[in-house]
Amino acid sequence: MIPFVAEGVLSPPFEDPILIFGLAMVVFLTAPLVLARYRLPGIVGIILVGAAIGPNGLGLLERDATIQLLGEVGLIYLMFVAGLEINLNRFVENTDRSVVFGLLSFVVPQGVGTVVGVYLLGLTVPAALLFASIFASHTLLAYPIVNRLGLAKNEAVMTTIGGTILTDTLALLVLAVVIAAEAGVLDAAFGGRLAIGLALFFVGVWIVVPRIGAWFFRTLNEESYFEFLFVMVVLFACAFLAELVGVEHIIGAFLAGLVLNRLIPETGPLMNRIEFVGNALFIPFFLLSVGMLVDVRVVTESSASVVIGGSLIVMVIVTKVAAAWLTGRIYGYSSDEVLGIFALSVGQAAAALAIVGIGFDAGVPGFDQTMINGVVLMILVVSLVSPAAMERAGRGIASERERAPYDPSEAPQRLLVPVSSAADHAERLLDVALLVRNPRTEEPIRTLSVVRPGEDAERDVADAEERLSRLGRYASGAEVAVEGQTRVDYNVASGIVRAAVENRITTVVIGWDGARSRRQRVFGDVIDQVLRRTKQLVLVARVREPLNTTDRIVVLLPPEIEHNAGFPEAIHTVNRIAEATGAALLAVPVSEGDEEFDRLLAAVEPEVPTEVQGVPDWAGLLALLRDDVRKRDLVVCVSARRDAMGWHPQLQTLPKSISTLVDGDFVVVYPASGARADDRRFLQLS
């Protein structure tokens, strides 16, 4: 016996919680790294190691209540992240595709499985229905690969994720109906209670949670771990409520992700924290838990288990391939996207185990230990097939995405965020920069503070450095590099302009407090000088509230601004904000030609849902700002520099009018000019 080690601590199965957790951490660290050397998905490694060290392998760990709890949490978390990461606008637009795939992915396996169960396996019709529902459902085992490759916004992937909810719901409804029939309680009251409960749950969550979330994020004065805790409360509350109304908790988790989607920007620190915790801890525990279910010995225990397992494997692969192929043919998806649909939908774990376990406990004919062994064998095979197929499909989809029109010869996007010593909302200004930042760029965001020389210059420089350091720590939560620069200059505007030239800046994001100054023409002496002396795209922002609580973006378009050479880039920037926040776009041109603006705005990527509502003149524009703009709207005015195409004398006083008429946030966008006048790369070249 090792000195100072209690007897039995090192004897398998391990019971010491520290040893168990430490061993799990070793698995999460090493398994993906080892398999990466052989170009295999890391999640396969965690599943295989789970099978090796679990109760059906070396017996180092038991699949006890703790492992099961963490595994359930991991699955819930996985579905939640899937709901958060999809493009909600496109998801809503393409809901019909998710419905079609969900029905195909359920009906084809359910039909084939029922026929096989009755005529080949000799099951009763209720038992055959339950047998088919085992593989009619699916679990997104391969979603971590989607996450890693950044494919959550691919249309085929979104279709599959949305279809998962319908497929699993229908499969679990089959389970509920069969069990109710076996218990003799299947009547009209049962169906009525289930329908009413589901309706109240979906409508209640969709209406209540966004309002609570918007209130919370507006009330919380600073970004902190309380935001993460609030998100966790919403997640598990929705999952629990889903169980209360009779559906699986993963449905509630996915719905929680959807309703919080617009409140959690994909580029912000909060989203990074959510993904970090999930990828590092909860989701690996789910994969480990799945692996510990696998028992390779079922192959040798009985020929009946092999027959059942083989039948399930063949049927799940054939029917899911058929559903993916049919969906691809209907909507014109590429071969890689069809393979991705199959890879995501062929995974089996939680729902399959729930169905076979409940059927076994309820005494459904044919649902014995042999059936359980066959399901476990199926899980073993598809746990290897699903991630491997998704890795291959994902790389093909990602390669196709990289071949999309994009001119790498253009100067990379470089952002500059000047911050004054009086800035009270510097973090909000940085949020704007994070939203408009091109996700393809590896350039850091440059922050700048210009200090005037004088007796206290050294102290002011030290204060400026501390201020920029805080911004750097804030942005690090979103895994975006920030380079802080401090300059000493008698003229603040000159310091900003020199920094823009020296760093080859393409986009300047600068804050305005809305106050009138003695030397003001448009904004004030400093900002007016910066606009006169630069040619870059400039965003002048007054942002006080969290942008993730924005309901709508109202875009003001002056007469003839569409003829400005930098107009496509300016609209591209606005579209990026809309896409990141999930807010709807209302374009308000001072023009009668709504149809022309419909065409122009639709031609700029990324594509976002846009409504065009023109006003006849400037008076109509001011009336709209006064009467129709709400506090949770973000007003964006696409303006123009003096003497540039689209400039009008009214633009000189419009920012002040906006600050007076609008209670919420607003941004004035000045398109780039000169050397950056060719903005065709922002158009949809399809």
Q: How far apart are the first and last CA of the chain?
A: 72
Residue 462 tokens read as 């030290």
Note the pLDDT of residue 232.
94
Cα dihedral 41, 43, 45, 47 sign: negative
Contacts of 221 by beta carbon, 8 Å cutoff, 6+ apart? none
Least confident of 13-27, 198-212, 339-353, 519-533: 519-533
Angle, helix 350-361 to helix 125-136, in steps of 10 degrees: 160
Q: Is the pLDDT of residue 422 over 80?
A: no
Q: What is the pLDDT of residues 176-208, one digit of tens each?
A: 777 777 666 666 666 677 778 778 888 888 889
Q: What is the pLDDT of residues 588-628, one digit of tens each?
A: 888 766 677 778 777 777 778 888 888 888 888 888 888 88
The whole-model pTM stands at 0.70
The full 3-state SS of 220-264, as one line of letters, equals CCCCCHHHHHHHHHHHHHHHHHHHHCCCCHHHHHHHHHHHHHHHC
Question: Contact, 310 vs 88, CB < 8 A?
Answer: no
Q: Are strands 552-557 and 584-589 parallel, antiparallel or unpaired?
A: parallel
Note the pLDDT of residue 1.
46
Q: Is the pLDDT of residue 679 over 60?
A: no
Give the residue ranges of DSSP H helices in 503-650.
525-533, 567-581, 594-602, 618-627
Note the pLDDT of residue 79.
79
Q: How far apart are CA 390 and CA 144, in angstroms?
A: 10
Residue 127 tokens read as 């038992």
Q: How far apart are CA 349 and CA 142, in angstroms?
A: 12
Residue in the block written with tokens 């849902």: 609
Q: What is the pLDDT of residues 435-460, one digit of tens each?
A: 888 877 788 899 988 888 876 778 88
Q: How far apart are CA 90 and CA 552, in angstroms?
A: 16
Q: Which of 441, 399, 420, 426 minimizes the C-alpha distance to 576?
A: 441
CB count within 10 Å of CB 654 equals: 21
Q: What is the pLDDT of residues 251-282, one digit of tens each?
A: 788 889 888 888 887 777 888 888 888 888 88
Choice between 522 and 548, residue whose per-residue pLDDT is larger: 548
Residue in the block written with tokens 């899937």: 82
In this structure, the dihedral spanned by the alpha carbons of residues 383, 389, 394 and 395, taken in order and rounded to 10 degrees, is 120
Burial 179-196 (b: 16+ CB within 10 A, else e): bbebeeeeeeebeeebee
